[in-house]
Amino acid sequence: MPDPAILFVWVLAITWLASAILAPVEFTERDPRTNQPIRVVSQLTGPALASFLTGMVKTFMDFPPLGQVLVILLATGVAEHSGLFAAAIRSLLRLTSQRLLTPMVMLVAVLSHSAGDPGYAIVIPAGGAIFAVSGRHPLSGIAAAFAGATGGFSASFLPAALDPLLQGFTQQAARIIDPAAQVNPLCNWWFMSASAVLLITAGWWITDRVIEPRLTGLPYESEPDSPAQPSASEATSRGLQAAALAALAVFAVVVFACVPAGSPLRSPAGGLITPDAPLMRMIVPVLFFLLLIPGIVYGRAAGSITSHRDVVQAMTKGMSSVSYYVVMAFFAAQFTAAFTQSNIGLLIAIKGANALKAWQLPAQVTIGGVILLTAAINLLIGSASAKWALLSPIFVPMLMAVGLAPELTQAAFRVGDSSTNIITPLMPFFPLVVLYARRYVKDAGAGTLISLMLPYSLAFLLSWSLLLALFWTFRIPLGLQAAYTYSR
């Protein structure tokens, strides 16, 4: 498969060519926004190409996920490079009893999603090392941590940068059908929190009952300098305590600001979680301060930040890690704009909706198809944002046309996307995890890791899909301002 950035160049070219071919065709499908027959607009005419070139910069700058991700990563860079993330993760692992070692490794791996790459750089090798120190096979620890950090990539108790990133694509795709559509960044929060409990429990059982028995008798090399249980320095402990107090203070400020009936964070009608409530539109800034302030406080207390220059330097390092995403976002923005302007996405959505209506498939079967298709595509395209940028303009409006809400479609995508992350070598960090395994078993390779992770992948895919069905059956809210059905 080509690089995701180049993949967007290909689909942009295909969109241009398809729009030119389909432009003369008269379709009977009607635009639900205007009730007029849908016409595909050629993107290869002189005016269309001129509009594309003159709007290229604005299209990129207005790309919804871009600004949200960059803002979050500014704060994440401070929390990461000050040492807050590493210290918090290691402290959680160090304070774990032997009996609860597996679920704690899984829990920390799930929580590490909010930290980004440290979940791979710290939790996975630490999981192997702490299992080895405890007399258990280190590959079991690596497998458990990898399953939590990657197989359960979307599952988390805490909001993460992935939430606004996917929401941006979902909202933009929903506006193909409904220009006024609003999708809350935390529209899947309750479901993903429950998913974290499910995956930790499932991962615990698989690790202890399936993976470790398979590894019995497999020799491994010890690692004398293992960082599994590092001794916390006085500065680190002081920094963690200060960071915890800082996070509580930020949270308390937000809560107290919401309490008054006339709070500026409330909607004109007094609501806090309605689409027009300022609180709902400032979730990304709130996450920014919940990461930034504790990161700075930790750094000052632990000695890793001594001046404002260190803070700026940490932000700079954090932004350097997002350079690839910016490149991909540029091409994704151009494709999304051309795809929307051509009306091809709308045509596919309405035709797909008509086919679904004709087949009269249960809605649950349709959502199951979205999960399985996403899981299969995930074996070829590792980036969640790249996949959703490609799929959301098709899935979201198509299912809206048959009465299924964008929030439900996004939840189904997240289930399929996460479950097969751990069995595809195309996942960017897969080679790194193989390297961790080779610290203990020298001849370990991609096949070794895939065979270890396959039970997790299958179990996660099945149990997670059933959990979504359970939520849907009993109409348990998926998250903030989330729905299961859509109607105009």
- CA distances (Å), origin 317, targets 298, 312, 320, 323, 418: 17, 9, 5, 11, 27
How large is the average pLDDT for residues 376-397? 79
Question: How much of the chain, in percent, has pLDDT values that exceed 90?
Answer: 39
* Terminal alpha carbon distance of the chain: 39
The CA distance from 464 to 412, in Å, is: 9
pLDDT tens figures, 431-465: 778 888 988 998 888 889 999 999 999 999 999 99
- State the Cα–Cα distance between residues 147 and 420, nearest whole angstrom: 10
The predicted structure's pLDDT at residue 289: 92
| pTM for this prediction | 0.70
Place of tokens 């198509």: 398
Least confident of 196-200, 410-414, 484-488: 484-488
> pLDDT band at 247, cuts 50/70/90?
very high
Determine the pLDDT at residue 203: 96
Query: pLDDT at residue 392 above 80?
Result: yes
Average pLDDT over residues 153-162: 80
pLDDT at residue 349, rounded to an integer: 67
pLDDT at 84: 85
pLDDT in tens, 465-482: 999 999 999 999 999 989
Whole-number pLDDT of residue 382: 61
Calculate the alpha carbon distances from 454 to 87, 284, 459 in Å. 31, 35, 9
**C-beta neighbour count of 324 within 10 angstroms:** 13
pLDDT at 280 over 80: no
